[in-house]
Amino acid sequence: EQIEKGGYEHFMLKEIYEQPSAISDTYRGRMLPDQGIIRMAGVDDNIERISNARRILIVACGTSWHAGLVAEYIFEDLARIPVEVEYASEFRYRNPIISENDVVIAISQSGETADTMAAIKLAKEKGAFVFGVCNVVGSSISRETHAGAYTHAGPEIGVASTKAFTTQITVLTLMALKLAKHKGTISNSDFRFHLQELERIPEKVKEALNSDEHIRGIADIYKNATNCLYLGRGFNFPVALEGALKLKEISYIHAEGYPAAEMKHGPIALIDEQMPVVVIATKKGHYEKVVSNIQEIKSRKGKIIAVVTHGDTEVRELADHVIEVPETMESLTPLLTTIPLQLLSYHIAVMLGKNVDQPRNLAKSVTVE
C-alpha cells in the first residue's frame, strides 16, 4: 500500500497532487487548441441529437452532483441549452417529466452508484438520450448509457472525491465548448481562447498546490471549529458546496455551503467570532458583490478565509487569511478554487487524527439505495 501511495501519507493527498496530470490526461487527444478543434467520439457521433436537446438534465450524487452544478453554469453560458441538475435519488422517485427531446447526462466517478443507475434506466424508458461521464472504464453506468466520455483521471482510492471532480468539470467543459461551436453560440476566437486557457490549467493547478504549507497553517488555527460556512457565487457556488462536503466527509466538522448572497436569508445569523467562513472571492465572478458579502461577515466578527486571485489587494485588507490561486477565465476558476479547499479539509482531518482515506460511515461507491 505504501508503494501505491507513491510517497504520500494518504491516497487523498496523492490524488489531490495528481490533478495537474489527471486534468491533462482528460483533455489530451481531445483538443487541439492551435487548430481550434475538439474531438470527443461520444459527442461527435451524436452531435445533432445533443445540440438540438430541448434541455439537458444532469443526474448524479455527491461530489459528482456538484460537478453537474458547475456544468449547468458552463453549458448555459456557452451552449445556451437550458440545464437542470438533479440528485439521482430524487429524480427517480418524483415522476419526472422527460421527453425524447431531452438529453440526460449521468455523472459518476465509479459508474456503479445505484441511484444514478436507476435514474438512467428511467430516462431511457422515457426515450431520452443518455450520455455518461464516468471515470471507471467498463463500469455499469458506462455500459448502460447510449454514449459517453471517460474522465481518464486514473484510479481514485480516497473515499472523498478529489481528482474525479476536477476531471469531470474538464470533460463537461470540453463537451459544452464543442456544442457551443456546433450551435454557433461561441465565436471562433472565444472558442480558441477557451482551449488555450484550458491547456494552461494543469500548470495553474500546480501553482495553486504551492499554497499547501500556508493552508496547513490555516488548518492548524481552525481545526477545533465545530462549524464552518463556505460561500461562493456563480461558477464558484458549487465549489462552496463541494468545499463544505469535503470538510464534513473527512473531518466530521459540520459545514455548510451557500451562495454568498443567500447568506442574508439565514446563515448570517450563525456568524460570530467563533465561526470560520471560507469565501471564494476570485476576480471577475461578481467580485465586488462578494467583497460586500465579506464586509458583512467582518462586521459580525466572523473569521474570514478567502480564496482570491493572485495579486488581490482589496480582499486581503478585509480577510483574516487569503489563499491565492492564479488568474484564469471565469468559467475555469472552479478547477483552481477547489484545490485549496481540498487541502484545507485534508489537513484539518489529519490534524484531528481522522481516517482520511476511509471516513466512518462512508463508502467509495454506493451500490445500494
The piece of 4-12, 102-110, 265-273, 335-343 that touches ligand G6P (CB under 6 A) is 102-110
- Residues pairing with 103 in the sheet: 56, 129
The piece of 60-68, 227-235, 236-244, 321-329 that touches ligand G6P (CB under 6 A) is 60-68
Collapsing DSSP states into helix, strand and coil, what is residue 360?
coil
How far, in Å, CA of 243 to CA of 251, rounded?
12
Q: How far is the CB of 156 from ligand G6P (least distance, A)?
A: 8
The piece of 58-66, 91-99, 234-242, 255-263 that touches ligand G6P (CB under 6 A) is 58-66
How far, in Å, CA of 42 to CA of 108, rounded?
16
Out of 22, 58, 61, 219, point to the residue binding ligand G6P (CB under 6 A): 61
- Residues pairing with 134 in the sheet: 108, 150
Cβ closer to ligand G6P: 5 or 364? 364
Cβ closer to ligand G6P: 64 or 342? 64
Cβ closer to ligand G6P: 110 or 342? 110
Site for ligand G6P in 122-181 (CB under 6 A): 159-161
Q: Cell 443518455 identifies what position? A: 130
Out of 19, 26, 110, 282, point to the residue binding ligand G6P (CB under 6 A): 110
Instruction: Say what the alpha-carbon torsion angle 175, 91, 84, 75 is, to the nearest 10 degrees.
Output: -10
Q: Is 152:9 a contact under the CB 8 Å cutoff?
A: no
Out of 19, 26, 89, 113, point to the residue binding ligand G6P (CB under 6 A): 113
Among candidate residues 5, 183, 354, 364, the one labeled active-site is 364
**DSSP code at position 36:** T
Q: Is the backbone of residue 266 left (phi > 0), alpha (psi -120 to 50) or beta?
A: left
Does 291 bind ligand G6P (CB under 6 A)? Our answer is: no
Out of 63, 151, 293, 333, point to the residue binding ligand G6P (CB under 6 A): 63
Cβ-proximal residue to ligand G6P, closest one? 62
What is the DSSP annotation of 58-99? EEE-HHHHHHHHHHHHHHHHHH---EEEEEHHHHTTS-----
Concerning whether 163 is annotated as a catalytic residue, the answer is: no
Does 365 bind ligand G6P (CB under 6 A)? Our answer is: yes
Does 236 bind ligand G6P (CB under 6 A)? Our answer is: no
Among 205, 207, 200, 253, smallest CA distance to 230 is for 253
Active-site residues, by number, are 364
Residues that bind ligand G6P (CB under 6 A): 61-64, 108-110, 113, 116, 159-161, 362, 364-366
